[in-house]
Amino acid sequence: MIAKKDKITLYILTGFLDIILLLILSLCQLSLYDKAFTIIILLFHILFYIGLHYNIKQLVDALHYLIFFSFIAAINLSNIYLLSLTLFLAIFMKLLWIYKKRCLLGTIDGRGYDNETEVLVLCITIILSYKIGKTQ
């Protein structure tokens, strides 16, 4: 069960991401890949809201795993705003892990992150930072 305070943080963070994603989708010329990525993430977020609201552990756990696949998929994005938003999320997650000493979605094995996850997020952060710098 996710604590109420953690749920509020997750709702706010996801809502912020959704607003930015909708702005990017409506204001930017996106490649087919970027547009599909954005729409899929928004659909995942709808499922995430449902899972959080109704405490559907299996759904939240599945989406918890999918966030890392979306980070990997984000490497192929070409829109600088989408790249920057993904980088923001990776850094924000890492900061939350450091501050809280756990994952807010710690429904899997009680924690929700491990050394492999930390290394993956670090690599994604480096790759996205490089792509953003190269795009400018």
Q: What is the pLDDT of residues 33-71, one digit of tens each?
A: 999 999 999 999 999 999 999 999 899 989 988 998 999
Burial readout 12-42 (b: 16 or more C-beta within 10 A, e: otherwise): eebeebbeebeebbeeeebeeebbebbeebe
Per-residue model confidence as pLDDT tens digits over 86-125:
999 999 988 887 887 777 776 445 445 567 778 888 899 9
Count of H-run helices and E-run strands, the chain? 5, 0
Indicate whether 19 pLDDT > 60: yes
Domain count, the chain: 1
- Whole-model pTM: value is 0.89
Whole-number pLDDT of residue 91: 92
Nearest-angstrom CA–CA distance, 112 and 84: 24
Element (H, E) at 90: helix 80-100
* Domain around 53: 4-135
Which are the contacts of 121, defined by CB distance < 8 A and separation ≥ 6? Answer: 68, 71, 90, 93, 94
Which are the contacts of 39, defined by CB distance < 8 A and separation ≥ 6? Answer: 25
Nearest-angstrom CA–CA distance, 91 and 103: 13
CB 118 within 8 A of CB 112: no
Average pLDDT over every residue of 9-28: 97
